[in-house]
């Protein structure tokens, strides 16, 4: 059901363009920006290359829902022109092709959220992160596939069909930012953006073998991000190396008057010059290495710990006692917020409308019945139930209390350590179709990622190694609020093995 079929045939250019082809995939975002700022690389050529890859390899993976070809080429040409004319300040993502998860509003193109209910919806404004990306010189080449409204861990809940994992096409890429992770892992773009409500950046990053950051709640504006669970949602980057991830974050973070929950997160310039060599005290929480953890995942994480220990990092055992309550609390809080946020899709002002000739209530019902997929309906019902009179105290209030205790657990742990190391996911990337009929098994994929969202703190997934059959394993580092810099430094240590 992918919309890739609508893409026009890929235009092939000059010999120089063809010569550049094998190189594009190996260029980092930092190299692209440096080359474009210096006039040595053409943003337009790179953009054509990224678009061409999106139409071929991206199409095979079903990674994109929409390509933004016309605007991308114009943006890229404008950047090249600016560099040629001289005088403009260098931009940190000059000419870097990027992709956006399709729940981030970008004018002139549809924002679908992987759903049928937003049929033909074109947002009237750009998300703040989009405005900042354009100011930073990035070129938005397309909107990536995702689980409907961000609800899922495999990208199989998309109206536009599942995404394939670039490592092995029979495996899920993870979700809900599966298209963004696949586009980065396949080398179509060096940086893509996702959103993370309970793990949707980190889990697909782990399954596809790339880097993914869930920033501190409030450090990236949510203005223009279609809401799922507003107290949990954060936009963040996915990239193929630590430095690009830091650049991708730096370009979008910081206070925004359009989002009252956004915060001034310090001096973003610090994150660009991330340096290795810093020694951390790292906590190992016993609860994350307990039953349910795939031994192959555990082996990789333990190997990483050993490697870092040899490199002079210090480890200490810690406890996060409420870890096993996080999934239950998350699925109450997230679904309650989702049931409220998704009430706006009623067929009146935009998106799909069904049964428009009858009574208003019938039109609402027909539209929502036809427009939402099964998982979204399940969550709206669960969330509505949890919020209903008589049940509020038993569910939502209780979950909010557990949330506060989880927050406290982390606060206490960070009195003793700088960072916490855990697996990103309990299992390896699973097969397409393997868990789709078992929502509980799917929800358990998030067991190590949701506590971080409940606590509002930042975490990163770093490629740690592979299973015996070559499936990527992600290692998660968690930091105190607003210490993204420590996460980038740690990721760089591991990348450079020092
Ligand atoms: N997989 C989790 C869920 O289905 C997290 C989703 C997300 O982070 N958007 O809710």
CA gap 12, 247 in Å, rounded: 30
Catalytic residue from among 153, 158, 200, 445: 200
Active site residue 319: no
13 pLDDT higher than 60: no
CA gap 253, 129 in Å, rounded: 8
58, two tokens: 């991206």
* Ligand 1 nearest-atom number relative to CA 150: 9
- The model's pLDDT over 48-89, given as tens digits with 9 standing for 90+, comes to 999 999 999 999 999 999 999 999 999 999 999 999 999 889
Pocket test for ligand 1, best of 115, 148, 153 (most atoms within 8 A of CB): 153
Q: Is residue 266 part of a domain?
A: no
189 pLDDT higher than 60: yes
362 pLDDT higher than 90: yes
Domain containing 192: what range? 19-257+277-498
Model confidence at 2, pLDDT cuts 50, 70, 90, reads: very low
Q: Identify the helix (H) or strand (E) that includes residue 461.
A: strand 459-466
Q: Which of 63, 47, 64, 59 has its CA nearest to residue 13?
A: 47
CA gap 174, 425 in Å, rounded: 10
Tell me how far the alpha carbon of residue 75 lies from the centroid of ligand 1, in angstroms. Answer: 32
Q: Identify the helix (H) or strand (E) that includes residue 423.
A: strand 419-423
* Ligand 1 nearest-atom number relative to CA 379: 10
- The model's pLDDT over 164-176, given as tens digits with 9 standing for 90+, comes to 999 999 999 999 9
Model confidence at 1, pLDDT cuts 50, 70, 90, reads: very low
Outline where DSSP puts E strands in 209-286. Answer: 211-214, 234-239, 281-285
* Confidence at residue 22, expressed as pLDDT on a 0 to 100 scale: 45
> What secondary structure letter does DSSP report for 187?
T
Catalytic residue from among 42, 52, 55, 101: 101
Per-residue pLDDT, averaged over 465-494, amounts to 96
* Ligand 1 nearest-atom number relative to CA 153: 1
* Confidence at residue 269, expressed as pLDDT on a 0 to 100 scale: 60
Tell me how far the alpha carbon of residue 408 lies from the centroid of ligand 1, in angstroms. Answer: 23
Tell me how far the alpha carbon of residue 342 lies from the centroid of ligand 1, in angstroms. Answer: 15
Catalytic residue from among 176, 219, 262, 461: 176
What's the Cα-to-Cα distance from 455 to each of 90, 214, 301, 410, rounded to whole Å?
37, 12, 23, 8
361 pLDDT higher than 50: yes
Q: Which of 122, 72, 130, 59 has its CA nearest to residue 101?
A: 130
Tokens 């490199």 correspond to: 311
Q: Is residue 160 part of a domain?
A: yes
Tell me how far the alpha carbon of residue 331 lies from the centroid of ligand 1, in angstroms. Answer: 9
C-beta separation of 474 from 461 below 8 A: yes
Facing residues of 101 across strands? 144
Q: Is residue 49 part of a domain?
A: yes
In the chain, the percentage of residues whose pLDDT exceeds 90 is 89
Q: Is residue 13 part of a domain?
A: no
Closest residue (by CA) to atom 10 of ligand 1? 151
Compute φ and ψ for 64, nearest 5 degrees.
-110, 145
HSE, CB side, 13 Å, CA atoms: give it for residue 232: 30
* Confidence at residue 272, expressed as pLDDT on a 0 to 100 scale: 64
Active site residue 200: yes
Alpha carbon 292 to chain centroid, angstroms = 24
User: Who lines ligand 1 at CB under 6 A?
Assistant: 150-153, 176, 196-200, 228, 334, 446
Per-residue pLDDT, averaged over 441-447, amounts to 92
**Which CATH number covers residue 418?**
3.90.1300.10
8 pLDDT higher than 50: no
Pocket test for ligand 1, best of 101, 155, 158, 175 (most atoms within 8 A of CB): 175
CA gap 398, 395 in Å, rounded: 5
Per-residue pLDDT, averaged over 415-442, amounts to 96
Tell me how far the alpha carbon of residue 334 lies from the centroid of ligand 1, in angstroms. Answer: 9
* Confidence at residue 268, expressed as pLDDT on a 0 to 100 scale: 57
197 pLDDT higher than 90: yes
CA gap 107, 118 in Å, rounded: 14
* Confidence at residue 23, expressed as pLDDT on a 0 to 100 scale: 86
102, two tokens: 């399709």
C-beta separation of 308 from 497 below 8 A: no
C-beta separation of 338 from 380 below 8 A: yes
- The model's pLDDT over 100-152, given as tens digits with 9 standing for 90+, comes to 999 999 999 999 999 999 999 999 999 999 999 999 999 999 999 999 999 99
Tell me how far the alpha carbon of residue 233 lies from the centroid of ligand 1, in angstroms. Answer: 9
Q: Is residue 228 part of a domain?
A: yes
* Confidence at residue 96, expressed as pLDDT on a 0 to 100 scale: 98
81, two tokens: 């022109």
Q: Identify the helix (H) or strand (E) that includes residue 490.
A: helix 484-496
The number of helices, as runs of H, and strands, as runs of E, in the chain is 17, 11
Closest residue (by CA) to atom 5 of ligand 1? 198
Q: What's the domain count of the chain?
A: 1
Q: Which of 441, 497, 420, 419 has its CA nearest to residue 465?
A: 497
Model confidence at 357, pLDDT cuts 50, 70, 90, reads: confident
Mean pLDDT, the chain, integer = 93
Model confidence at 398, pLDDT cuts 50, 70, 90, reads: very high
417 pLDDT higher than 90: yes
CA gap 369, 111 in Å, rounded: 20
Q: Is residue 2 part of a domain?
A: no
Q: Is residue 87 part of a domain?
A: yes
Model confidence at 267, pLDDT cuts 50, 70, 90, reads: low
Q: Is residue 263 part of a domain?
A: no
Kind of pairing, strands 139-144 and 64-67?
A: antiparallel
Tell me how far the alpha carbon of residue 481 lies from the centroid of ligand 1, in angstroms. Answer: 21
Residue 257, classified by CB atoms within 10 Å of its CB into exposed (0-12), middle (13-18) or buried (19+), is exposed
Number of Cβ within 10 Å of residue 317's Cβ equals 9
* Ligand 1 nearest-atom number relative to CA 334: 10
Facing residues of 140 across strands? 98
* Confidence at residue 283, expressed as pLDDT on a 0 to 100 scale: 98
31 pLDDT higher than 60: yes
Facing residues of 422 across strands? 476
Active site residue 231: no
């Amino acid at each position: 059901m992918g919309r890739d079929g609508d893409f026009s045939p890929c235009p092939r250019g000059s010999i120089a363009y063809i010569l550049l082809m094998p190189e594009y995939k190996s260029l980092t975002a930092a190299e692209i920006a440096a080359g474009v700022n210096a006039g040595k690389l053409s943003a337009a050529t790179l953009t054509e290359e990224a678009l061409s890859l999106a139409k071929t390899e991206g199409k095979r993976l079903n990674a994109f829902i929409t390509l933004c070809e016309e605007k991308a080429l114009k943006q890229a040409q404008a950047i090249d022109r600016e560099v040629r004319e001289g005088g403009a300040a260098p931009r940190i993502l000059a000419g870097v092709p990027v992709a956006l998860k399709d729940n981030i509003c970008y004018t002139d193109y549809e924002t679908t959220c992987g759903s049928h209910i937003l049929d033909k919806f074109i947002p009237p404004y750009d998300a703040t992160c989009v405005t900042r990306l354009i100011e930073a010189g990035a070129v938005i080449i397309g909107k990536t596939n995702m689980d409907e409204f961000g609800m899922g861990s495999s990208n199989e809940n998309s109206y536009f069909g599942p995404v394939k994992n670039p490592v092995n096409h029979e495996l899920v890429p993870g979700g809900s930012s599966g298209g963004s992770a696949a586009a980065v892992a396949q080398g179509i773009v060096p940086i893509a953006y996702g959103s993370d409500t309970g793990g949707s950046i980190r889990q697909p990053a782990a399954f596809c073998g790339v880097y993914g950051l869930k920033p501190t709640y409030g450090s990236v504006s949510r203005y223009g991000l279609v809401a799922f669970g507003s107290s949990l949602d954060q936009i963040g980057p996915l990239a193929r190396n630590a430095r690009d991830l830091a650049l991708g974050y730096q370009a979008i973070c910081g206070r925004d008057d359009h989002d009252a929950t956004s915060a001034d997160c310090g001096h973003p310039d610090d994150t660009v010059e991330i340096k290795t060599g810093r020694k951390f005290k790292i906590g190992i929480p016993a609860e994350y290495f307990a039953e349910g953890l795939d031994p192959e995942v555990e082996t990789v994480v333990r190997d990483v710990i050993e490697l870092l220990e040899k490199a002079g990092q210090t480890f200490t055992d810690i406890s996060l006692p409420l870890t096993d309550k996080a999934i239950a609390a998350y699925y109450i809080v997230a679904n309650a917020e989702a049931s409220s946020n998704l009430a706006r899709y009623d067929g009146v002002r935009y998106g799909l409308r069904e049964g428009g000739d009858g009574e208003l209530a019938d039109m609402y019902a027909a539209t929502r019945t036809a427009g939402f997929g099964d998982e979204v309906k399940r969550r709206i019902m669960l969330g509505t139930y949890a919020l209903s009179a008589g049940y509020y105290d038993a569910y939502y209030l209780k979950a909010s209390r557990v949330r506060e205790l989880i927050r406290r657990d982390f606060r206490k742990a960070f009195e003793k350590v700088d960072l916490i190391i855990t697996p990103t996911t309990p299992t390896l990337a699973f097969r397409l179709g393997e868990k789709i009929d078992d929502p509980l098994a799917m929800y358990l994929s998030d067991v190590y990622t949701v506590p971080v969202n409940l606590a509002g703190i930042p975490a990163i997934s770093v490629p740690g190694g592979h299973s015996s059959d070559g499936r990527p394993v992600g290692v998660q580092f968690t930091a105190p609020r607003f210490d993204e810099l420590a996460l980038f430094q740690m990721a760089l240590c591991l990348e450079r093995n020092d």
